[in-house]
Structures are given as C-alpha cells and as structure tokens.
Structure 1
C-alpha cells in the first residue's frame, strides 16, 4: 500500500493492520516517507488515536528498526525503569545498583535533560572519565559483570523513533498518548528487557501536569507493553515539588552517593526509590509481593551492597576506582555558593517546580537548545520541601553558580517559585500504582 493510503486510512479514523504499520515505520527509517508524510501520519494519530493492538504493533516495528539486545545468556532476570522526567529526580542512580544487588540485571539506557527536567546521562557525565555512550560490547560486559550499567541511547537503537520524534517535536504532535507510549516502549524493548516499571509523574513540574492525563499515559504504557509481551507496572508520583533537595548534575550525584551510603536519605526520595524497586523485583519474579520486595531492596541499600555495585559500575565505565569514597574530590564544584533567604516567616505553601528546573537551566545546568553544553558544577541544593517552616531570612535554597551575577538572578527565580504562607501543604508522593 502507498504511504499516502496508510495516512488516509488513519486520517479517516480506521485501524491499521500490523503490515501497514510496519510499512509506515520502514518509510520513517529509510526515508522513503517524506517529512511531510511522517508529520501527516503523526497528526492523524494525534487526532484519532490508536487501539492498543495498533500501538503495540507500532512499538514493535520501531523496536525492530535497529539493534535489539539479547540478554538470554544472563543467569537472572533483566528489568529496567523509565521516568517521564522531573526536577531533582536522581532515582536511577540509586535504583539500578539496588536492583543489581538483589539479583536482577539492569541495562539502563537513559536520556539527557529535556526542557526544565534533568537528564540521568548528564548527571553521570559529571563524573570524570565516565563513558556514557560505550559500544555494545562494553555495555554488555558491564551489565554481565556488575549487574547494571547506565548509558545513553546509541544511534542504532530504535532509529525510527529518533526521526519520528524529531518531526513530532516541530509539528505539535508530541502530546499523542499512543505515540509517547510507542516512543518510550520501543527503546525499552530494544534494550532486551524482560520487564519494565514506569515512573509517570504529574504536577506542576511534570511533563503532564494533570493527574488524570498522567494516569491515562500510565495505563496506555502498561497495557501496550503487555500487548507487546513486556510485563509492566507503573507508579504515579507527585512532582509538585522537587523530588530530591538538589537539582543540577554534580549536586544530584552527591545526593545519590549520600543516599546510597546512608549519610542522608530524604523521606520522599526514599519512598519513590524503594517503591519502584519493589515493583521491579515483583515484575522480574525475584519476589512474589511488593512488601517482601521492598524489604529486600531496603536491605540491599542498608547493608552496603548497592553502594558497592554503584562504585563498580562507575569504575567499569571509566570513572575513578575510588569514586564513592572520594566523590567530593572528583566532582566539579561551582566557585560561588549563594544563600537564598526566606522573604517572610511561615510555611512553604507551594513551589512552582518547573520554574525551579528552569533556574538550573539558566545557571547553565541544562540546555536552552539541543546543542548547548551543560555545566555540571552548577545547580541548587538545600531546597526546602512543601510544608517546611521558616523564619524570615532562613535559607530556602543554596545556589551553586559560576558568578555572583548568575547567583543573584537565580535567587530572584527561586523566590518567585516559592510561596511562603500559613497553610502548610502535604501530599503523598506515590499517588497510585498500575499493576
């Protein structure tokens, strides 16, 4: 069938066959479909949606457009987690080694920062020597020997998705639930997973602010994943405030090392990390129920096994052998540390979380455009959570900046993002679990 006829069929609200979807994806991969045709197809899907079986067929076709990893030789289950992105979300850095310490394997293929949200890959690259984009042989070796590896997407992994997303990004079709689902799952299936757990965020710092829309995405991903043969659970987590009290690259790595070693563990961050670990261990078949799985994950964290795995992963991918013990010596540090004072006494009533993320971008810790270099040293620490009580002049955040001018600009942004008043807010960080 002609590409134009496939577009016409979807434009008219009809379901496509697996062969028609495969032909469309082939056209995206080999450029036999023009940019205009790909855009038209994306708009037709956005307006008319896709049935679960259609979305599963699209996911599998995009998976098969490039390399697909095979971990069948491993002695344990292969599982991963994916987050829809947030501020202060460094969960992957702790989660991967915890799961590896529990007997599963985590080939985690992560992304860079997007808009106001931080990227796991940018965080890992703040570690000197760390190779975030190794070749497939090195990636496989580290996963086999350490149990986990956090790397970036290669050009040969679901290449159809890369072109498709680039066109969607400039044609106002990114918001399609079916296309978001296929984009995420095609890369995860190409990574050769046996199961997946999603962290779908909602709130003012999330890609999808509305809880019901976020839940719709979570249901779509879990159902399409199962239709594609991939067991999948999802947590819906609150992003109406930064998850960790740090936002940036090196500062979030410090936060992660302190979490792993037990120096400091924030309650909300712990709840998300252990909650996701529990679902991963259940979907992987390591434990039969989430309560037992969470106990197992907490034990791997508390007895130091997860910290040991993290150190081995960093070293195996080119980082310092003693990184965990001496991380402060290796990580870059911004020359200016600036206290942001509370303008009045009261409680933290609300936080414009997206604006906090944008403050990091303005400091140089994120990208305004895709080609921007990222400054790993800058960021924010000591971010007070919702409900915190302050007196006038108390520090509500610390700015790590390259100059006092940049720090002052960031202070203004933070003060605008924080609402201090008399109605302390609190909400559970994990709102729902789709299993």
Structure 2
C-alpha cells in the first residue's frame, strides 16, 4: 500500500471509524463523512471515492453534498492516487467503448481549449489520410466560443449524435467519428455542470479527471494532449499548465493508454478567426493547402505526435494537405455524419469593423480580449444548453508582426443581434496595438511531455 493510501486509511480510521468497514461494505459510507475527511485535509479511500461517484451518478448523493465535496477538493487538493481513483470511478459510471477488435491504430487528441482553437477540424482528416484511426468524443463549448461540435454543426446537416453501432461502423469504413460523449462518463457530465455554478472549475485535479474520464472511455489506444498556456488558456501560467499536462499524462499511462502532451502557447489567438462557422471556413483553407501558418504548424505537430503514438510511420502529414488527401477524408467524414459542404456556411447578418488610426506594425493581440468579444457577439454560451450563434465571431485581418496601413481594417465582428456589437467592441478595446516594431513572439510549441 502506498504512503498516500496508508496515510488516508489512518485518517479515516482515526476520525471516521466506519470507513475501515466501508472498504468491504460500501453501505456504511455516508456523504457527510466523506466531505469531512477531505475538508479536514484527509485522503479519501478508494472505497469512499467509488461510493460517492456512484452515489452521485445515481442520485443518492445530493447536489448540495457533492458541491461541498468539490469545494473541499478545490481547497485541499488531491493526491495522485486519489486523482487516479476519482478518474477511474467516473469512467466506470458509464460505458467504456472498446474497438480493439477492429484492428485499427486508434489514437485521439484533446485540447484544453483556447481562442481560435479549430485544430481538431483539420487534424482528424490529416491523421486519417496518414493511416491512423480517430474515435473522438467531442464537446460543446461553455465560454467564449462553441466547442468542436458547435463549430461542426455550422455545416448544414452535420450531426454528432451517433450510436455506438454507428461509431463502430464509421471507424471501420472511413477510420473516424466525431461524436457527442453521450453515455460516456455520465458522472463527469453531472459534476462538470455542478463545478460551473459552484466556482470550482479551476481545480487542477478536477480538470484532469474530467478530461481524462471521457477520453479513457472512448476507446482510443493512445492519446495526445494539447495543453494550452497563457492569457487565452484555462490555466494562465506555464507552471500550472505544465502540472496539468503531467497529471493527465500520468493518468492516461496508469490506465494503460499511452499518453503524451504538447504544451502550447495561447497568449494570442490561433489563426485569423474566432467563432464557429468562421473557424470552419479557416479550417477548410488549411485542408486546401493554405490557411494561417500557426494553425498549419500546430496541426502538423499534433499529427506527427498522434501518428508516432499510434505506431504509424513513413508518412508525411504535410503532404496530405498539399495533395488534397486530407480534404478528401474530411469530405467523407462530414458526409458520413450528414453534413453538406456544398451549402454556404452561416455568417452573422450584422457586422462592424475596427480600423487602424495610424500605420505601423501590428502589436500583440490579447487572446482573452478577442475571446470575450466573440462571446459578446453570441459565439459562446453562458450556461449549459444555451444556443450559440453559428455565424457570430471575429475575423482578425492583421496578426502580430504584420504591417498595418492607416485606415486599414484590423478586425471584423459578426453577429445576428446588432445590439451586441457595442459590448463586443468594448471587450476588444485595449486588447491590441499598432506600433513601430514587431512584438517578441515566443514559440508556438513550448514543450513536449511524455
């Protein structure tokens, strides 16, 4: 037994004697005792974690009780052993997909989320075109823009609501499926919604277990993480992002899914677009062999990691963009899920521009300022289940370091509700500059872990 587990057992035995019996008789556990253990800085036993996750999933532990436990975890933290067990309990709360019988090199990628982060859209077809397969459980956004599913739903007819049978068939026939998590890790779905309204979202153990429970349940055999750091990231400092990446890599590996991570910069937006349909349009440019240099760079860096993790070698991901094979795979994937790329993508009916008062060089652009502008325009949601405007967003016309002429358009804002434009412009104000010299931009890929 590890020191952490031993220490946790002594705490439980000393303060809550019933916990010793509870390892064998889960019915002896009760929510106040579990909460009290963590509140007082104790270490939760495996039995306590299994019991509280199962109980909350089944409605036997009340929202008020889970809220108290989440706040105790937020304040007291968790040991690596606790995080591993918490994650495993959330995976066990629902179905775990298993596609190993298909005989495919199954690999997936997860991003911790950023501004203009449309990377999944070109990345999946690039990896497909190179010979790997991707089962991707994706989510809807909560915050400044929609998630991957919201963005893809701006393509007419596209649906992410796939049954397990459909996912299996799609993986077998075309090598990929991008689907709503559905019944995967239902405990996480309930806990995530509760964290959002109880100010416990920023807890590193809870972030790591939330991400990894869904990814470990979806059936991938290896996993690559894109962990963002900077102003537009969930975690602002490199130290926090590095700790999160290391925690998630360890979780994946301990669960038998080889996991690695790239630590990437999110101080400024990725690409020239932030929103939903505007990001899909930019992704199509990348798949057509063009697109912004940073989006292409990160797509290819992650593709190389995924292919290596899947054991696929001897292929050049960049070639799939040059020769159109990635675009072909994207069209097949979208069509398989009902999407029609021949129909125009929606764009907000109303727009406003921001122009340069003087010429010079575009300075730094604050990713969070652009993110909040997009949110004000209607590209994101304030609460789970709220609709997003698929055509809302921001187009950045000049990126940091590019020359700017006086009177030139620097940003275009799109929305279907013109009364939102004023607040969006206010968010952008002060989030960019034009100066005499280019800003000092660090590397897009900061480090590699795992």
Say yes or no: TM over 0.5: yes
Match runs of 1:234-313 below 5 Å = 234-262=261-289, 264-287=290-313, 296-313=316-333
Displacement of 1:350 in angstroms is 2.3
Match runs of 1:98-109 below 5 Å = 98-109=126-137
2:370 paired with 1:334: no
2:239 paired with 1:212: yes
4+ runs deviating over 6 angstroms: none
**What is the distance in 2 between the residues matched to 1:37 and 1:112?**
27
User: Structure 1 residues 171, 392: closer, same or farther in 2, change over 3 A?
Assistant: same
Calculate the aligned-residue CA RMSD, in Å.
2.0
Give CA deviations for 1:227-258 in whole Å, capped at 9, x if unaligned. 12221111111111110101111111111111
Structure 1 residues not aligned, in runs of 5+? none
Give CA deviations for 1:284-319 in whole Å, capped at 9, x if unaligned. 2223xxxx6xx6222223222211111011110011
Q: Secondary structure at the match of 1:151?
A: strand
**What is the distance in 1 between the residues matched to 2:106 and 2:45?**
30
User: Structure 1 residues 66, 408: closer, same or farther in 2, change over 3 A?
Assistant: same
**What is the distance in 1 between the residues matched to 2:424 and 2:144?**
14
**What is the distance in 2 between the residues matched to 1:432 and 1:148?**
28
TM-score (norm 1): 0.91
The corresponding residue for 2:9 is none
2:212 paired with 1:191: no
2:434 paired with 1:414: no
Q: Secondary structure at the match of 1:365?
A: coil
**What is the distance in 1 between the residues matched to 2:175 and 2:332?**
10
Match runs of 1:165-180 below 5 Å = 165-180=192-207
Displacement of 1:411 in angstroms is 4.4
Quick check: 1:105–1:148 contact (8 Å CA) kept in 2? yes
Q: Secondary structure at the match of 1:137?
A: helix
**What is the distance in 2 between the residues matched to 1:411 and 1:181?**
34
User: Structure 1 residues 17, 407: closer, same or farther in 2, change over 3 A?
Assistant: closer
The corresponding residue for 2:151 is 123
Structure 2 residues not aligned, in runs of 5+? 1-21, 23-28
2:234 paired with 1:182: no
The corresponding residue for 2:447 is 432
The corresponding residue for 1:391 is 405
The corresponding residue for 2:85 is 57
Displacement of 1:391 in angstroms is 2.2
Quick check: 1:142–1:148 contact (8 Å CA) kept in 2? yes
Q: Secondary structure at the match of 2:56?
A: helix
Match runs of 1:23-62 below 5 Å = 23-62=51-90
Match runs of 1:340-359 below 5 Å = 340-359=354-373
TM-score (norm 2): 0.88
Displacement of 1:357 in angstroms is 1.4
Match runs of 1:4-19 below 5 Å = 4-19=32-47
Quick check: 1:53–1:224 contact (8 Å CA) kept in 2? no
Which structure: larger Rg? 2
Equivalent pairs counted in the alignment come to 421
The corresponding residue for 2:380 is 366
Question: Which 10-residue stretch deviates more, 18-27 or 407-416?
Answer: 407-416
Q: Secondary structure at the match of 2:103?
A: coil
Q: Secondary structure at the match of 1:160?
A: helix
Question: Which 10-residue stretch deviates more, 134-143 or 22-31?
Answer: 134-143
